[in-house]
Amino acid sequence: MSDRSLRGMRLGAQSMETEAGVEPAARQRVEYRCEDGEQVFVIMAAEADIPATWMSKTGKVAKLVNGEAEPAVTNEKPVRTHWDMLLERRSMEELDTILKDRLAKLRAARGAAKAAAEAAAKS
């Protein structure tokens, strides 16, 4: 029975296709250089948009060699935070006054709750 057993390939582990006649996509070698002179070479597709900076394996920022000095400046507005929007509506003096009032209310409420808890514990 063992001489009639079927032998086959592991499914999914190996491909039956060959790479004959397959041409890889056009590529280009892009050079970046860090401030300390470290060179970084990256292989990219020929039609890819090349970034002006690249992070090297050592964690340093490398700039494109023979490329634009700085990336193009966009006319986007800077992100406004909640604090920026608050300062547009109120002055620092107003905010300080509001903070003092809120702290006084919280302390009064905390004192009343503490007094109620002490009275409940005594009875």
> What's the confidence (pLDDT) of residue 112?
85
* pTM as predicted: 0.42
Instruction: Spell out a b/e string for 41-78, using b for 16 or more CB atoms within 10 Å of the CB, else e.
Output: ebeeeeeeeeeeebeeeeeeebbbeeeeeeeeeeeeee
> What's the confidence (pLDDT) of residue 1?
52
| 7-35 pLDDT, tens digit each | 666 666 677 778 888 888 899 999 999 99
Q: How confident is the model at residue 78 (pLDDT cuts 50, 70, 90)?
A: confident
- Sequential DSSP letters for 10-65: PTTTS-S---TT--PPPEEEEEEE-TTS-EEEEEEETTSPPPSEEE-TTS-EEEET
> What's the confidence (pLDDT) of residue 66?
83
> What's the confidence (pLDDT) of residue 122?
82
| 32-74 pLDDT, tens digit each | 999 998 999 999 999 999 998 999 988 899 999 986 655 566 7
